[in-house]
Amino acid sequence: MSSKVETFRRLVAQDAANLLFRFSLGQALLQAGLAAEAVEHLQVAASSKADWMMPRILLGKAWLAQQQKERAREALQAALALAVAQGHEDPEAELHQLLAAL
């Protein structure tokens, strides 16, 4: 288990309401190949702020890793709308590629 995962597990255990801790744990879990476990934390982060793009991107990737294509499509489309609205060109390009591969 990566030290990042363990660090953020401890932080979330201490303060589960901290959205940055939840997002960071979800990100670390996804990077560690633990997509199923990452989903819960990324969903909490994504649902906390309507304009927070990154948790939606990672949530889409977590769903993809689990072969949940429709759920992935929903998360990635939501992230794409935010990327366009916020002028984030690199994430927009990546999201177009991910969605085209579905």
pLDDT grade for 1, boundaries at 50, 70 and 90: low
pLDDT grade for 2, boundaries at 50, 70 and 90: confident
In this prediction, residue 8 carries a pLDDT of 97
Q: Are 52 and 46 in contact (CB under 8 A)?
A: yes
Per residue in 31-89, pLDDT (tens digit) is: 999 999 999 999 999 999 999 999 999 999 999 999 999 999 999 999 999 999 999 99
Q: Which residues, in sequence order, are CB contacts of 74 under 8 Å at separation 6+?
A: 60
Q: Which CATH architecture has domain 3-101?
A: Alpha Horseshoe (1.25)
In this prediction, residue 92 carries a pLDDT of 97
Going by the DSSP 8-state scheme, the letter that residue 79 receives in this structure is H
- Amino acid in the structure at residue 12: V
In this prediction, residue 13 carries a pLDDT of 97
